[in-house]
Amino acid sequence: AVEPRFLTRLCCGRPSRHQPRVAMASRVRAHGAQAPKDTQLLAGGRPGVLGIRREDKNKWERRSPLAPRHVRALVGQGLKVIVQPSTRRVFTDHEYEEAGAIIQEDLTECAAIAAVKEVPIDLLLPNRTWIFFSHTIKAQPAGMPLLDAALEKKVRLVDYECITETGQRGGPRLVAFGNFAGYAGAIDFLRGLGERFLALGYSTPLLHIGSAFMYSSLEEAQRAVAMAGEAIRRNGLPPALCPFTAVFTGMGNVTQGSLDIFKLLPHEIVDPGDLSKLAETGHASSEDCHKLFLSITTAEHMVRHKRGGAFDKAEYYTRPDQYESVFQDTILPYSTVIVNGMYWDERFPKLFDHEDLQRHVVSGNDRLLGVCDITCDADGSVPTRQFTSIEQPFFIYNALTDQTTTSLDDPGVLFHAVDHLPSELPREASEHFGNCLLPFLPSLVAACAPQAPGQGDTGSLPLPMRGAVITEGGQLTREYQYIQQLRTANARMDQEEREMEEELSKGALHPHGVQGVPACVGLELSGHLFDTKLINRILDLVEAQHGRVQIQNLDVASTVSDESHLSMLVMAQSQEQLDKIVSHISLAASEVDVAMRRAGGGSTMVPAAAQASSSLSPSQPPRSVLVLGSGFVSGPLVEYLLRRPENSITIASLERSEVEAFAHRYGSRVRPEVLDVLAPEEEAAREALVKSTDVIVSLVPATMHVGIARLAIRHGKHMVTASYVSEEMQALDTDARAAGVLIINEVGLDPGIDHMSAMQMIHHATSSASTKVLRFSSLCGGLPAPEAAGSSPLGYKFSWSPTGVLLAARNAARWRQDGQLQEIPGSNLLANSKPLTLNNALAFDVLPNRDSTAFAELYGLSDAPTFFRGTLRYRGFCDKMLVVARLGLLEPGPVAALAPLATSGQNPTRRQWFSALLGLPFHDEASLRKSLREHIGGMGMSKEKVEIGEEFVGWLGLLSDLPLPAGATPLDSPIDVTTALLKREEMSYLPGERDMVAMYHELVVERADGAVERRTATLIEYAEPNGATAMARTVGLTAAIAAQLVLDNAEPFGIGVQRPLRKEWYEPVLQCLDGEGIRMDERTELLRPPRTADDTTFVTSGQMGGAGQPVFAAKL
């Protein structure tokens, strides 16, 4: 209680002498307050200053792009962080202030400003870098005024949705809230089920769960769900609700988040195929009432092939029209609730629609009580008729009347469809979001936004961030120029719709005496829709014929080189008129080689050029390609070659199932052959296949190429391989030239892309004869993607036997550095690895790769003081493998110390075998560990490496009493036993895990004027989601492109045994690879400016990598 005379002091905010003085906050006003006006703008802001904007889109948006601890980390790196004050944000201003931020309204000092949701146009400071969810990349009408403002104000606009691992749209997103949408959606849904069950007459523990936003933290919400779960475990659910089956769709972050919540309840995971059996038991078992049955469905459970073939995941995602839904009959009738978290668009079959639901209700076969549609697609994969809000998150859908109501007491199915769920968990969502975003911010705020296209530091941003830049310098960036075309198309369609509505409002009658559109058809197109201007041309054609177009779905390609996909509805006033429009569209599509088909027609999606004509033109004679080998690489190669309608393929391999799978996928254009390329008894079959083909592509092991090459020479057929040219292959050069045959080798990744990109780089840099190459290095590695590498202690995974990788760790190496020949014996290779950090993100070990000097002459760099080729492995690989090698575990031959074990007739344990290998007495594990540490330390290794070695040896199980792994015996060499030990689940690619290829070139040249520059080229390629591996794509597509070039015209390439080192090869191949989204990112850095008349400076070894250090030790 206070006396009236103190009210003035309290209202004026005067602190007492016992309280700390804090920044004054605006008081709450019932009628709102005027927003403070921006102060005078500071042009472009200051580099190194980051702003965090206050969110104001709606009252529930309490998230922040960065939590206070992220701010503390940035301030610790020397950045200045300004945070706009907010009384609604989940983190208080005081928390940010304690973390080192400045709390103020004015953000004009900031070079970059981060927010979560869209920024009001009048508050979008010009000439800044802004990063938020802009909702502009699909040309959404609501987002176009914001995009126009960003262009007008020369804002560098970065969209979180576009920050991907690959830097390309459609790649795995790095900054997202997916899991939190799943968490919040599941919590809210359980709350709604509790209330709905009560309305149906059943009290359940779910009634005591609140919505996610009602809890102070996710942990508290999870505790509430777990308490409800304990009550279910103890008391059970009403028998009428049992068995309670919850079906989850997809395997993405959203589904994983919702599944994590449901797993807090007592549960049992069941296969989707067992749901029908479970439902047949009814609620006879009381045990079933004390748990939920959770089932995870993916595409293979949801659809079937229209022609009755086996489900093919790759085909389904590329040709979904070949599949139809079965979910409505195999899953829906047995589901109590469905949690929908999968990606869906118009190209894919729906899970079920309202007619399916109505059918089951009428037949009495309806168990469905609720649908949680976290994806929020209006009438999409499930019949969601309206979106809901956090305040009113539920509606009831009555399948019999096709009506919705917000009363949970009414009959029907409960639906939950809130489209901004992560804002219900603002604290954890912000923490997670900031973790993802933090690594990219220092580079983003290092400089001011470019004021003209191509200026500034955008090119030096990390690849994921660079690919997310939508506008800069007043223009759309290259990858987002399609937005303007899409806007134009949308505007024209809106105008047509308005004109049609105006006509209808006048009461105009249409054919058949009804108002409406009597003729319509769905069309689907795939190809380069924007750079060919096809979309605009289609609109012209439809308009000229007085028709109408409605775009139903548009999937914009990841890069300008990739294909986009369009689903649209074309309407006309008569069938005759419609047929004419479709004919014109088909012809226009065929002219630009865009694939088109009628939706629902069941026809195969082939290039429209092939649809337009049933026979090939004289300029495209039929071509036949013989592909030897049916492994991973063959998939991308065959797919690429079959894009040309004149090509047919014979694929031959020992694996019948593999070649027949190709034939099943591609039909009559692929002929399968089961063939042994070495067996003498199959010589006649090999001859017949070679004679009947135009080009041979050999993807079999390298040792088999020479025999195939002799057949190619004998019958005058050109040949393509991805393998190194062996001495035996090179020896065939004279015979190949005499026969007029081209045998092009080394057209894969490494060798292949490395050669061609290096030669292009070298030729461009040395176009002047007076330019001197000081140093060249080339590094490459095939690795697991970062998120998959963590489960392997080596950061490496094997697609086949580990033996090859282990043997490579024993290869001797040679390279030239600073004019001196460097040689390392194989026994010391791993000890000579050096660290390297690429793109400020990827930490590697670099190993010298065999004899680099052999390539210096091939590259025309015999006189270069430094020439190096290396192999990339993740950091830590070499330390562990060095211990393995020094302990003798990579020895390829017999070891005398193991002889007694081999002749004893006993099956030793791993510890016994390892003790014998090291010549140590057999001890218990603790004693062996001590001896092992002393043994490794005695090799001169550091304490850290001793610990690393002991840990890895323990992981291999060599300190345990386990038997030797299956297939290994005491008679085997150590490297064979080690190979068997590494054949573990953690060392293999698991379903859903991706691989990655990394390549890096560095070229340092000195010009005639004394200037010294460094050129670098980087390739980071990831596996396609649900598609080919990165290794298969880079090798397969490169070989396919080379084969197609030879098919088209082999004359420019000449004859004989070749490598792709000449301009005639590397220019077209690299250009085609660029069209597939595979390209080297090149940069140039001036190390020393041109020399003046009195300038005697020179480039030090430190500038080029460090005195006395191997070239690959340079900091990049």
Cβ atoms 387, 417 nearer than 8 A? yes
What gap in Å lies between CA 958 and CA 911, rounded to an integer? 5
Q: How far apart are CA 952 and CA 169, in angstroms?
A: 39
Distance CA 803, CA 138 (A): 48
Q: Does the annotation count 457 as an active-site position?
A: no
What distance in Å separates the CA atoms of residue 369 and residue 1091, rounded to the nearest whole number?
80
Q: Check: CB of residue 603 under 8 Å from CB of residue 612.
A: no
**Alpha carbons 522 and 551: distance in angstroms, whole number:** 10
Coil, strand, or helix at residue 23? coil
Please tell me which residue in 750, 845, 972, 995 is annotated as part of the active site. Answer: 750
Residue 137 Cα distances to 82, 157, 380, 465, 492, angstroms:
28, 11, 21, 15, 18
Tokens representing residue 43 in the block: 């042009």
Angle between helices 925-937 and 910-918 (to 10 degrees): 30
Q: What angle do CA 408, 411, 416 make, to 5 degrees?
A: 45
Q: State the alpha helices, DSSP H only, in 532-574.
A: 534-544
Q: Residues near 938 by Cβ (< 8 Å), separated by ≥ 6?
A: none
Is there a contact between 624 and 693 (Cβ–Cβ < 8 Å)? yes
Quick one: which of 133, 96, 917 has its CA closest to 470? 133
DSSP letter at 372 equals E
Distances (CA, A) of 146 to 39, 117, 134, 717: 21, 12, 8, 59
DSSP 964: P
Which among 583, 551, 570, 582 is positioned nearest to 485, based on CA atoms?
A: 551
Task: Tell me which DSSP letter residue 988 carries.
Answer: B
Q: Measured between alpha carbons, how far is 713 from 1086 in angstroms, rounded to an integer?
A: 49
Distance from C-alpha of 148 to C-alpha of 127, rounded to nearest angstrom:
14
The encoded tokens of residue 406 equal: 């917000």
Answer whether 650's CB lies under 8 Å from 625's CB.
Answer: yes
- Tokens 């040689």 sit on residue: 823
Backbone dihedral angles phi then psi of residue 51, each to the nearest 5 degrees: -110, 150
In this structure, the dihedral spanned by the alpha carbons of residues 940, 943, 949 and 955, taken in order and rounded to 10 degrees, is 160
3-state secondary structure 419-473: CCHHHHCHHHHHHHHHHHHHHHHHHHCCCCCCCCCCCCCHHHCCHHHHCCEEEEC
- Among 186, 274, 291, smallest CA distance to 235 is for 291
Q: Which residue has 């630009």 as its token pair?
A: 592
Dihedral pair phi/psi, residue 1046, rounded to 5°: -65, -40
Give the list of residues 6+ apart from residue 406 with CB closer than 8 angstroms, or none. Answer: 392, 394, 395, 396
Q: What is the DSSP string of 312-333?
A: -HHHHHH-GGGEEE-HHHHTGG
Do 529 and 566 meet the contact criterion of CB atoms below 8 Å apart?
yes
Q: DSSP character for 52?
A: E
Neighbouring CB atoms inside 10 A of 678's CB total 15
**Residue keyed to tokens 């601890």:** 69
Nearest to 177 by CA among 134, 241, 145, 133: 133
Question: Residue 569's closest CA among 595, 541, 583, 550?
Answer: 550
The catalytic site residues sit at 750
